[in-house]
Amino acid sequence: MRVLSLLAVLALEASGTVALPSFATGLKRDALTSTFCGAPNQYEVLSGTPWIIFSMNYNYQSIEGSCCTGLYETSGSGDAQRIHWSSIWDIDATVNPDLVKGYSFIGLTQNLETQLNTISSIPSTYTWTVSNSTAYKGNVVYDFMTSDTKGDSTSSAAQELMLWIRYEGGQIPLGYDKGAVATIDGLYGKDGWKLYQGLNTDTGITVSSLLVPEGNQFGDDVGGTFEGDIKDWLLALSEQGVFEKTTYVNVGNAGMEPFWGTVTFDNTLGLRIDL
């Protein structure tokens, strides 16, 4: 994932430098209320929620077709607050098939820049349904960033952390060629999670990707459900020496990384940081 544009957006929004569109009210379930097809970025901060919806197509010039993020509605409050959204791909598989085209996601805007050991929990539920007319390459993933410095998500001292709960089409993480640096058992009811680490040469940031075992992924070809405390993943990485428990959680989100395929992910996500 590229995070520079997202961080810039949030910083400008907080300072009042840019005006962002307000979140629509009176939404009708199962009808898209907004569609974001960034070239490279398009987004909306959703007022009254802890989220930003984002279509980050940082390799948009290499897309033959389109990749969009759709908003249906938000619902509930507190523990039951959810967002219904979609990731919609129509990407030619013959053009740059091994290049990730971007990141379609829901990002957190509240309770970030907080030390991990002061966070009570990061509860999340993530349900997705797959409708596709072709095979596809991509994943379902959580992407967080930490640093020993509050607010730092751009320097080489920051850490990008990816939790792959499902992946298709032969996608591999950075550092795969060097082999897994650790195996983690007992996380979210599954053993054999593999931790890979590699340098993102575009950002200078090391990416630590934890992959659910390929033969024991969450969900199947038509969809799936994940539920758990994201803090458990971060603590597991801390125990592997990736960072200290005093690190700051500066960025957090969940979404899909598109490579190619004609597919729609219909998603319902709950994600928040409790202090």
Neighbours of 264 (CB within 10 A): 17
Alpha-carbon torsion 120, 118, 274, 10, what sign? negative
The Cβ-side half-sphere exposure at 56, using a 13 Å CA radius, reads 24
Give Cα separations from 248 to 117, 153, 178, 189, 223 (angstroms): 9, 10, 28, 26, 33
Residue-level length of the chain: 275
Report angle CA 206, 55, 210 to the nearest 5 degrees.
35
pLDDT of residue 31: 84
pLDDT of residue 19: 31
Q: Write down the pTM of the prediction.
A: 0.91
Give Rg (Cα) of the chain.
Answer: 17
pLDDT of residue 30: 62
pLDDT of residue 21: 31
Residue 238, token pair as written in the block: 């801390």
> Mean pLDDT for each 10-residue chunk of the chain (275 residues)?
45 34 37 93 96 97 97 95 98 97 98 98 98 95 98 97 98 98 98 98 96 97 97 98 98 98 98 98
- DSSP 3-state helix, strand, coil percentages of the chain (rounded to 5)? 15, 50, 40
Compute the distance between CA of residue 40 and CA of residue 36 in angstroms, rounded to an integer. 11
Residues contacting 171, CB < 8 A, separation 6+: 137, 138, 139, 257, 259
pLDDT of residue 29: 43
SS3 61: helix
Compute the distance between CA of residue 262 and CA of residue 132 in angstroms, rounded to an integer. 6
Compute the distance between CA of residue 254 and CA of residue 38 in angstroms, rounded to an integer. 17
Number of independent structural domains in the chain? 1
pLDDT of residue 28: 37
Compute the distance between CA of residue 250 and CA of residue 153 in angstroms, rounded to an integer. 7
User: What residue type is 209 in one-letter code?
Assistant: S
Where residue 81 sits, what CATH number does that domain have? 2.60.120.180
Compute the distance between CA of residue 148 and CA of residue 159 in angstroms, rounded to an integer. 9
Compute the distance between CA of residue 166 and CA of residue 223 in angstroms, rounded to an integer. 10
Give Cα separations from 275 to 18, 49, 116, 123 (angstroms): 29, 16, 10, 11
Neighbours of 203 (CB within 10 A): 18
Domain that holds residue 57: 4-271
Task: For tokens 């960034």, name the residue.
Answer: 38
Give the pairing of strands 205-211 and 159-168: parallel
